[in-house]
Structure 1
Amino acid sequence: MTVISNPILPGFNPDPSILRVGDDFYIATSTFEWYPGVQIHHSRDLKHWRLVARPLARASQLDMRGAPDSCGVWAPDLSYADGRFWLIFTDVKRYGVTTVNGARGASLRDFPNYVVHCDHVDGDWSDATHLNSSGFDPALFHDEDGRSWMLNMLWDHRPGRGRFAGIQIQLFDRAALKLVGEPHLIFKGTDLGFTEGPHIYKRDEWYHLLVAEGGTGWDHAVVMARSCDLLGPYEVHPDGVVLTASGNRHGPLTRTGHGDLVELQDGTPWLTYLCGRPVPEKARCILGRETAIQPMRWHDDGWLRTLDGDAKPMEAPRAPDLPPMPWPQNRWNGRFDRDSLPPEFQWLRTPMPERLFSLFDRPGFLRLYGRETVGSHFEQALVARRLEHRRFTATTCLDFAPRCFQQAAGLILYYNSTKYYYLSISVEEGARELQLMIASPELAESVTIEGVGPLPEGPIELRAQGDGDALIFSWRSEESSVWQILPHRLDGTILSDEVTFPGLPNFTGTFVGMACQDASGMATPADFAWFLYEGGDDRCAPVD
């Protein structure tokens, strides 16, 4: 029996929206402050997936400079109508603090929603058109009568209100790219609260509304309701939740929710949803929110349920009866002798990557130009890839000649501006020095820097090794075969949603990559010769 191993999209890949066009399946996921915006993966058997597009790749579509951590692109929805692909998304500009000194006040947040379209999923998508700003998690529903509707959750910023005010719907004119008529509030949610992530499906005479509830933490859930009229009223599923891992903080798949349905060619429904995989014995998910999938069943009463009717996630569901379609493994060799950034890498917020890095100024190297300090919300020279394994090794080699203490470059594990581990080369009293910078809400000081002694001349190799909750850094000169282990056994689990300052959003995941700063404003560059990432279920390399 062939099974699917969940999650199907490991590492930071939350809020999946799934679509089938013919024999092709596509999943779009949130990217928050990482650029380019939105990841779209492609499969033909639901088991094997490949990244085919990041459609929001220029300033006329997305510019997130200044966006706070975990803002930017939320919950994209991918659909197909009129022979073209439609992508609708929120570009969150502000995440207001809801309490001050324990008092609950107004929560002023900015949630502009946009739509883009393209004839080919991997083509050049249109400029973004603003639709509304009334709440986040927009989605398009294309009805059988040819009309399209936009859904989104309604945000209520007023003090003493529930914030999550329900799901609204409004007619969308595809030709004019605008909303018409008045919005209708069609569903106020259940007692679980935090009603968001809406999708509508038409089956027989019923409109089925699927939402996420319970918040995106341990009590996250998929909830459904139905109505014979698109505008309601909607009757809640008699079982309450359709899928949840509530109450389980140590299982293989936790935090399950924010789902979307797809129907196979034979009519079988499958549910894709986000999940988390906590480090064993610690309720912390260092890989962030990932994407899983499993088959569902329409029961005789017309309601959707899991195969066993238990509303539980499946770690290894049986694969559908589709021809296996594994994709060719075109593994990158780690060298930067190429004319474009390897597809696994992204950067933060800005639509002007030419100010951050170049593959041409020094052929064979990735040159990072020192920009703002690590943690900046505007222009930060940080190029990184998702952490996809709890056991991993990441190694890089850089050539860098800092001239003052304000300049640094090196290897970074980054969750957001308040949580990272950064092993960098800087300079003290005229000599190059290795420095370990740590940012964590668990520190007495928000950021600490510790010097690790002088460095020899020439290129330096830096290495990070993770094994569950343990993280170790090491270094060596390019000519040496011996790694110098830093005397720190670090807690890798601070790089998770679960470790945070009160009131701050934490919706992303850990990235590992390369960074360069120059607080003097001189844009001093650092040249990286290669970057290697290895990971697996077993230890990928021994911690020396």
Structure 2
Amino acid sequence: MPLAKNPILPGFNPDPSIVRVGSDYYIATSTFEWYPGVQIHHSKDLANWTLVKRPLDRTALLDLRGVSDSAGVWAPCLTHDGARFWLVYTITKAQNGAFVDCHNYITNAASIEGPWTDPVYANSSGFDPSVFHDEDGRKWFVNMLWDHRSRPNLFAGISLQEFDPSLGRLVGPRKNIYQGTKLGCIEGPHLYRRNGWYYILVAEGGTGWHHACTMARSRNLWGPYETHPQQHILTAKDTTFTALQKVGHGDIVDTPDGKTYLVHLTGRPVGHDRRCVLGRETAIQEAYWKDDWLYVKDGPLPSLHVKLPGIQNQVRYWAEKHYTFDGELDPDFQWLRTPLPERIFQAGKAGKLTLVGRESIGSRFEQALVARRQSHLSYDAETSIDFQPEDERQYAGLTAYYGGANFFYLTVTANAEGQRELLLMTREKPTVRNWLDEPMVDPVPIPSSGKVRLALEVRGGTSLQFFYALCDGTIEELVKIGPVYDASVLSDEAVNDRGASAFTGAFVGVACSDLNGLAREAAFDYFVYRPIKDSSDRYDI
């Protein structure tokens, strides 16, 4: 079989859950505060993946207004019981504290495209749930237990309880069946049955540098579970030399010819500060069974290269994406939190993407921000904007965005006298009170009307430069505006360095705010995302 290169889902695609139905493979990944919820990719060969559905796409299934950054949809589990797909997911309201308020739901559908049923509430006792379909047809709900009393050991073990789909609720006894190893932070459980054994695969060590996949087995569903002889069947916690770091949170799948593969979360650090600017990604490893235990080939370290049935399409990966807005929004794009996108944007209005100015770019409720994932270490982005602000409380433009406390934003706005200008608003060096960076770059006066081209370039995941041009012909070529910024602050690690927790990834897109409450609109003609293949990309997929 040909060699493929990890990750197979580059950019922010964490916490993979994989299932095969016939000759079709599907991977579901977390989306956190981004809407619609849960990314589902499809493949025929495990090497080439296409986004086919974000199923949590209506208010009944998901409403994220008010959730904090890096809360929202955590760790979905996608399974199939022979007749229907089942999706289990967590909605976390907040994090970075003793109480995470993680509510677990179950929905199902006859096909990936849906319709997906209104969700059934399961519990709020922990996150990262899954559903296991046993051979006798019974369904079991599996999730980690969160103990708010036990800092720093808040992860109390793995809970098992039966789920009755006819009643739409959990029934019968609940038991803590596995507490993991000394590594701690047990989460992300999946149950399997094979050769008379029940296997549990969990994540341990937290989702950072000490992450790991740990396996245990039992002859009885309720345990006791014996930990794998290796304990951690996949981890990079003991080395900094492997290209793939943070490996953990895995799930396994069998191919039609009997091979077994493990998909898992990973990160690729760059720069002096070892920041994973592409977020937590999805990789895959070849595995095998020996003495009724699963082993990762050449493990427990992860491999950058792996044998897969298919050959990765490099042309597609490096292709420039030129987005136009003649109809529906391209599926590459998402927005933040709200299940009411018609209030924040319209795609196809006069062939443009029209954003409706709402709350600030740092809002947790209703902000007009539409963006796509950064999936390359080096890239260019460009758009053209038509926006007529009346003062400094109306602003719209191009943003490289991680969260409300980590972003770079080149805006078309106006001063208090109504003079239109370009203004950079950045959070490169976030403060405790979340002020914008000061001193701010001096604004650039621009004509009172006319379109403006806005662009940026990111190189190596560590440097970011903005550009602009005027479409009236006075400044035709793109010129630099502002300094070179540290693009690596758009990362989990940059937030973690401030003592908080973060789990998403960098996006690039457009935004619009109107704090005067007038819903002033900004129109964007196009959006270009251009991957750059250069020497700074040590991974070079």
TM-score normalized by the length of structure 2: 0.93
Residue identity opposite 1:276 in structure 2: G
Q: Which moved more, 1:325-334 or 1:134-143?
A: 325-334
Please state if 1:278 is matched with 2:269: yes
Amino acid at match of 1:369: V
The Cα of 1:302 is off from its aligned counterpart by 1.8
1:473 aligns with 2:460: no
Matches within 5 A, 1:389-538: 389-428=376-415, 429-442=417-430, 446-448=435-437, 449-456=440-447, 457-468=449-460, 469-478=462-471, 479=473, 480-500=475-495, 502-538=498-534
Query: 2: CA distance between counterparts of 1:536 and 1:203?
Result: 45
Q: Which residue of 1 aligns with 2:295?
A: 305
Residue type at the aligned position of 2:74: W
Contact kept? 2:247, 2:265, Cα under 8 Å: yes
Give the structure 2 partner of residue 352 of structure 1. Answer: 340
- Supply the distance in 2 between the matched residues of 1:332 and 1:343 (Cα, whole angstroms): 16
1:32 offset after TM fit, Å?
A: 0.3
Asked if the contact 1:249/1:278 (under 8 Å) is kept, the reply is no
Q: CA RMSD in A?
A: 2.1
* 1:162 alignment partner, one of 134, 137, 153: 153
Q: Which amino acid aligns with 1:388?
A: S
Give the 3-state SS of the residue equivalent to 2:32 in structure 1.
coil
Name 1:84's counterpart in structure 2.
84
- Residue 537 of structure 1 deviates from its aligned partner by 3.4
**Pair 1:210 & 2:201 matched:** yes
Cα distance in 2, alignment partners of residues 219 and 333 from structure 1: 36
Moved more, 498-507 or 71-80: 498-507
Tell me the SS of whatever aligns to 1:40.
strand
3-state DSSP of counterpart to 2:493: coil
CA deviation digits over 1:94-115, x for unaligned, max 9? 2252xxxxxxxxx122011001
Which aligned pairs between 1:251-400 and structure 2 lie closer than 5 A?
251-299=242-290, 301-308=291-298, 310-320=299-309, 334-360=322-348, 362-400=349-387
Distance 2:535 2:369 in 1: 27
CA distance in 1, matches of 2:518, 2:482: 33
In 1, distance between residues paired with 2:241 and 2:488? 14
CA-CA distance at 1:442 after TM superposition: 4.8
Residue-by-residue CA offset, 1:75-129 (whole Å, 9 max, x unaligned) = 00000115111000000012252xxxxxxxxx12201100111111022211111
| Larger mean Cα displacement after TM superposition, 480-489 or 414-423 | 480-489
Aligned residue number for residue 100 of structure 1: none
C-alpha spacing 1:327/1:59, structure 2 compared with 1 (3 Å) = farther
Query: In the comparison of the two structures, how many residue pairs are matched?
Result: 527
* Paired residue type of 2:293: W
In structure 2, distance between residues paired with 1:140 and 1:458: 55
Distance 2:136 2:47 in 1: 33
Change (3 A) 1:161 1:256: closer
How far apart, in 2, do the equivalents of 1:124 and 1:40 lie? 14
Render the CA deviation track for 1:146-183: whole Å, top value 9, x for unaligned: 11101000000115462100000100112332111121
Instruction: Assess if the C-alpha contact under 8 Å between 2:64 and 2:338 holds in 1.
Output: yes
Corresponding letter in the other structure for 2:410: L
1:48, 1:327 within 8 Å by CA — same for their partners in 2? no
Distance apart, 1:267 and its partner CA: 1.5
Deviations, residues 410-439 of structure 1 (Å, cap 9, x unaligned): 000111111001111110132111111111
Q: Distance in 1 between matches of 2:504 and 2:152?
A: 27
Q: Is the 8 A contact 1:467 1:539 kept in 2?
A: no
Greater alpha carbon shift after TM alignment, 1-10 vs 207-216: 1-10
Deviates more, 1:111-120 or 1:531-540: 531-540
1:96 and 1:275, CA in 2 relative to 1: closer, same or farther beyond 3 A?
closer
C-alpha deviations, 1:311-367, integer Å up to 9, x for none?
A: 0111111123x6x6969969896353422101100000000000000125x411110
Alignment partner, residue 539 of structure 2: none
CA distance in 1, matches of 2:482, 2:400: 18
Q: Which residue of 2 aligns with 1:101?
A: none
* SS in structure 2 at match of 1:359: strand
SS at match of 1:450: coil
In 2, Cα distance between equivalents of 1:119 and 1:348: 28
Write the distance in 2 (CA, Å) between the matches of 1:337 and 1:288: 27
Contact kept? 2:383, 2:454, Cα under 8 Å: yes
* 8 Å Cα contact 1:18/1:28 also seen in 2: yes
Contact 1:250-1:280 at 8 Å conserved across structures: no
Cα distance, 1:3 vs structure 2: 1.4
Amino acid at match of 2:469: R
Structure 1 position 126 matched with structure 2 position 117: yes
Distance 1:490 1:15, change over 3 A: same
TM-score normalized by the length of structure 1: 0.93
**Amino acid paired to 1:387:** Q
1:153 aligns with 2:144: yes
CA distance in 1, matches of 2:267, 2:152: 30
CA distance 1:529–1:160, change in 2 (3 Å): closer
Q: CA deviation at 1:452?
A: 2.9
Percent identity between the two aligned chains:
48
The answer (yes or no) to whether the contact 1:4–1:319 under 8 Å persists in 2 is yes
Give 1:201's aligned residue.
192
**CA deviation map 1:432-482 (0-9, x unaligned):** 111111114555873124333101331001111001211111100123432
Q: Is the 8 A contact 1:197 1:258 kept in 2?
A: yes
Alignment partner for residue 110 of structure 1, among 93, 101, 122?
Answer: 101
Partner SS state of residue 232, structure 2: coil
Gaps spanning 5+ residues in structure 2: where?
A: 537-541
- Matched residue, 1:104: none
More displaced 10-residue stretch of structure 1: 374-383 or 498-507: 498-507
Provide the rounded CA distance (Å) in 1 between the counterparts of 2:229 and 2:491.
35
Q: Distance in 2 between matches of 1:137 and 1:329?
A: 32
* Residue 211 to residue 393, structure 1, CA distance change in 2 (3 Å): same
Superposed CA deviations along residues 486-533 of structure 1, whole A, max 9, x for unmatched, are 240110011111112645320000000000011111111100000000
> Taking structure 1 as reference, are residues 3 and 273 closer, same or farther at Cα in structure 2, changes over 3 Å only?
same
SS of 2:342 mapped into structure 1: helix
Closer/same/farther in 2, CA of residues 82 and 277 from structure 1, 3 Å limit? same
Separation in structure 2 between the aligned mates of residue 163 and residue 500 of structure 1, nearest angstrom: 21
Q: Please give the per-residue CA displacement for 1:22-70, whole angstroms capped at 9, x wherever unaligned.
A: 1000000000000000000000100111000000000000000000110
Q: Distance in 2 between matches of 1:117 and 1:332?
A: 36
* CA contact 1:336–1:359 (8 Å) conserved in 2: no
Asked if the contact 1:207–1:228 (Cα under 8 Å) also holds between the matched residues in 2, the reply is: yes
